[in-house]
Amino acid sequence: MDGQFVSYKNLESISKKMDEYIDGNHPDLEKFCQRQHQKRCETPFLTAQLYYVIGTGYSSVYFATVQKDWYSPSISNAVYFLRKALNELKDEKDEYHTVKNGSKKLILSLSELYSRININLANYLTEQHRHIEALEFYDRAIVVKNAFGLVTKARCLIEFRRYVYDENSKFFFSKEIYKLTKKSLMPDSVTIEGDEKQFESLKKRQASFIEYFEDAYPDYIVNDHSDTHKENFKNRKHKKYLDWVGENKLFLNLTNIVITKEYAYEDCLGLPSFSGKLNPLLLVSEELAFHAHFDELKDTYCYARHTFYSALQMPEETEHFYNSTYRQVDSLDYSINSIKTNSYKTALRCLYSLLDKIAFFTYKFYEVSTEELEEHDVNIKRIFVSGKKPLAWLGQVKNPFLSALYFLSKDINDVRHPPKRNKKPNTDEVLYLSETTFPAANQINQIRNALEHKSLKIVDGFGYELSQKHYDPKNTLDEAIKTRESLDELSSEYIKLSGNIEEKVRLQSFHLAVSVEHIEQQILDLIKLSRNALMYLALSVQHHESSKPDDGVSIRLERDVPYK
């Protein structure tokens, strides 16, 4: 993104002004944040600092609003800029950075900035009820020895634990809170300058949890049943796969959020029993429609997960008889058509389909009116949003985990579209979370569009770099456009060059090329996103059912769900 470059001195000035606006609850704080959107600094490290300042400003706008909408764009903007900050730091290796401030030289710490960004980002995600996603960012701060991450993660788990209906998972959440709290009280647990007061306050507030856990679970203080459990693997291949799933926390199991031991090697996420009026018109299969559909969602997820894992184990050029019956065209762009790359595409199709099926489950279960959304229009983009605001049904339900799904869906749906010809985009109005949720801007949507409607080419890493470079720098599209600007529009040269440019644009957009490494990261990110979506969906159903008032007519159907 092009932007206005600012010096460290200007960055300090912006930061100081932001603090003044925040402390004074200035009415123009949001406008001041907006004026910083297009600015960048001389280095990625300082740019990350700038984005951190902007994100902090937007969070203050959110918290200062007395009657804020639950879908407030301010908290989304705060999340956006902190993600952008982390994106700037992704290639930083040096722990300390020296910057000039007038005649002085200052030494700034990478781990300090990195941990502060991660903790605040996690805190903002919890405001969106996205506790599951927040935990990863608290962990990042803990890894770089910022003990503030210990108490803020414990606070997140305490909040989330209230909604967990699985008693087994609730125990492991409690034990994780206990361990985090104990560790935060150790003498070597320290935080960075500026957070000491909050750190001490949270430590004191959470210290009582230690006594609670030791009284409630005296036999499980040191060890518990997860330490002795041994999974019954079919063979080494089976064990290797389940180990990979567990280590990446990809099981549909709330316990796997906090432990990666074999005890969590199970996709046990499910739906609670439902309440409702007896309806003699329903077939038994129709009474089980939601449980069966959720089971289908789990099956799609598990298949995509295993397909991706299996492809990871294959060499790139693995030969297979599926495409041995025809001569393949060498498109001279290093693209790979193999069982490995097609397995990646299959996994992607399953995951894209899964997100739309989650939307359809939501549509049916929460009885969204056809006047608001027709059934044939239901997908992950339309189920929650109309224009810039949530659909009316979502505000009426008042369910924290539907709110989480709403914000999660915006991560992949809020994409930047190219501006129309001769029209500049209004960058102050809309922010695009998907630009920083995934490694490259809009890739998750571009890949889906190419896979389903155009051409997706997966290229090996070395070949990808070569395929993106023109053999003659003078014949690039940018150079051609520059040359055309200097020509007479009525000249034959102008007309010929315009034709070449149009052909270049038409064929350039024919396919999307991505490297093997990039597509692997994209799929893994999408698997994690899908897992989170399924967990939020199950938790939303549980919250909905447990919040229903007793009307004296409806009864809770405590019937056993049959299993094969």
Spatial contact of 242 and 256, defined as CB atoms under 8 Å apart: no
Q: What is the tens place of the pLDDT at every residue in 224-280? A: 989 999 999 999 999 999 999 999 999 999 999 999 999 999 999 999 877 767 788
The pLDDT assigned to 332 comes to 67
Cβ neighbours around 9 below 10 Å, total: 12
The pLDDT assigned to 1 comes to 42
Task: Provide the β-strand partners of residue 40.
Answer: 5
User: What is the b/e burial string over 37-71, where b = at least 16 CB atoms within 10 angstroms of the residue's CB?
Assistant: bebbbeebbbbbbbbbbbbbbbbbbbeeeeeeebb
pLDDT along the chain (564 residues), means of 10: 77 96 91 94 95 97 81 91 94 91 88 98 97 98 97 98 93 98 96 94 96 95 92 96 98 98 97 78 86 96 98 86 75 78 94 96 96 94 86 90 94 61 42 45 70 84 65 76 88 89 82 85 93 98 86 63 80
Nearest CA among 145, 152, 161, 164 for reference residue 206: 152
The pLDDT assigned to 497 comes to 86
What's the rounded Cα separation, in Å, for the pair 527 and 307? 11
What's the rounded Cα separation, in Å, for the pair 98 and 510? 46
Task: For the chain, list the domains and their CATH numbers.
Answer: 4-224 (1.25.40.10), 269-436+516-556 (no CATH)
The pLDDT assigned to 425 comes to 43
The pLDDT assigned to 463 comes to 65
Cβ neighbours around 301 below 10 Å, total: 24
- The continuous run of DSSP H or E covering 40 comes out as strand 39-41
CA 523, 524, 529, 534 torsion-angle sign: positive
What's the rounded Cα separation, in Å, for the pair 442 and 434? 6
Structural tokens at position 165: 């209906």
Structural tokens at position 519: 């597509």
Measuring CA to CA, how many Å separate 220 from each of 56, 176, 226, 258?
40, 12, 10, 16
User: What is the b/e burial string over 370-401, where b = at least 16 CB atoms within 10 angstroms of the residue's CB?
Assistant: eeebeeeebbbbbbbbeeeebbebbeebebbb
Task: Provide the β-strand partners of residue 55.
Answer: none
